[in-house]
Amino acid sequence: MDFLIEGLAGTDSGAHGRHRANTIFPAISTAQFAFAEPRDAAEMTEMMKALNIDPVEAEFQYRRLYYGMEANCAGCRDKDRCRADLASNTAAENFRDYCDNEALLNEMRADPEMLREDG
């Protein structure tokens, strides 16, 4: 999770901070969010469950990161594929091909103990 924490450091100010945020959350910088709402990210919690990640614990431990991931999901253009993979239980094998949260989900998935560490 070091690259996530380092990537978020300084994202609140200056051009360099905005660049770092765009690296971690590319869809936020390019997607149309005029009509996106948090409820439009329902697939994210289902994807986390499919990857054996506890979404409640992830939100609790990494609230700011979680909300960025939620915004990525809300603006996703591959929702049909995501929903189909979730419905057919193939999301864990295929999400890398289309999910804008892939790097973050893989990091959480690779180290399940990170959700139990003190923040």
Lookup result for tokens 């993979």: 85
Residue 101, Cβ neighbours under 10 Å: how many? 25
Phi-psi region of 25 (alpha: psi -120 to 50; beta: other; left: phi over 0): beta
8 Å CB contact between 85 and 94: yes
Angle between helices 102-110 and 63-74 (to 10 degrees): 140
Domain ranges of the chain: 2-115
Distance CA 14, CA 62 (A): 23
Q: pLDDT by residue (tens digit) across 49-62?
A: 999 999 999 999 98
Q: Is the pTM of this model over 0.85?
A: no
Q: What would the pLDDT profile of 95-114 be if each residue is shown by its tens digit?
A: 999 999 999 999 988 766 66
